[in-house]
Amino acid sequence: MQEVKPPRESLVKYENPIEVSNANDASRGLQGKKKAQLSPLESKPNTEDILNAILPPIEWDHEGKHYIQYVSHVAATREDVGNLQKLLDERLLARQARETGICPIREELLSQCFDEIIRQVTIDCPERGLLLMRVRDELKMTIAAYQTLYNSSVTFGMRKQLQAEMGKSELEEKIVQLEQRKQKLEEKRIDLLNKKDSLDKKIKERNQIEEQKRKQEIEFLKYQGQHLEAFLKSVQPELK
């Protein structure tokens, strides 16, 4: 059988541990101390059975021996309540529990304190103890639901963050590609502008040359026209 460490000291009052020879004796001891199911309130169940159902006995193995420890059935006094509050404060301080926010240590100690209060109330009034047990179980289910919701939200947030990180790297890579493409297009634009300026310059120079040629041709034609006109005037008297 696997060795199980003794239970940690609790704020709940328990009787002295009982050593049993084997698991069968432990099972018979449990059957003698508690019932599998609580009896209805109308049947006035035994206080001991209710206590063992609300706060089940603790079992552990140590040095080859099996132990069972049942919750105490001794009624609490006014002094016990004061001692419980004092012990709670001492445990909170000793285990360095946080005063605010989420703190598993504070939650554990307050849960033990609540169980001890339920034990004390159950001894005086079993019906009130059963109601407190329902309140305790409902609180535990609510806390468990919030923990599940919190864990789910954390997982969802981490998944979204990872997706965002993956998307971020893709976007950064795309930005680099676009920057490179922009640089190439800018170089191409500058090259085309240079070619355009060169062509404009060549066209301008060619237009100037052609304009100069046209002027020279026009002047040459005018000069030939003047000489031809003068020649015709000189020839006309001779013809007469």
Q: Give pLDDT tens digits for 144-155.
A: 999 899 899 999
Q: Give pLDDT tens digits for 220-234.
A: 888 888 888 888 888
- State how far the Cα of 216 lies from the Cα of 86, in Å rounded to an integer: 122
Query: Who's near 51: CB < 8 A, 6+ residues apart?
Result: 71, 73, 119, 122, 123, 129
Residue 2 has a pLDDT of 45
Interval 82-86 mean pLDDT: 92
- State how far the Cα of 161 lies from the Cα of 138, in Å rounded to an integer: 34
Interval 17-36 mean pLDDT: 56
Residue 22 has a pLDDT of 57
Q: Is the pTM of this model over 0.75?
A: no
Q: Give pLDDT tens digits for 27-71.
A: 444 444 444 355 454 555 688 888 888 888 888 888 888 888 888
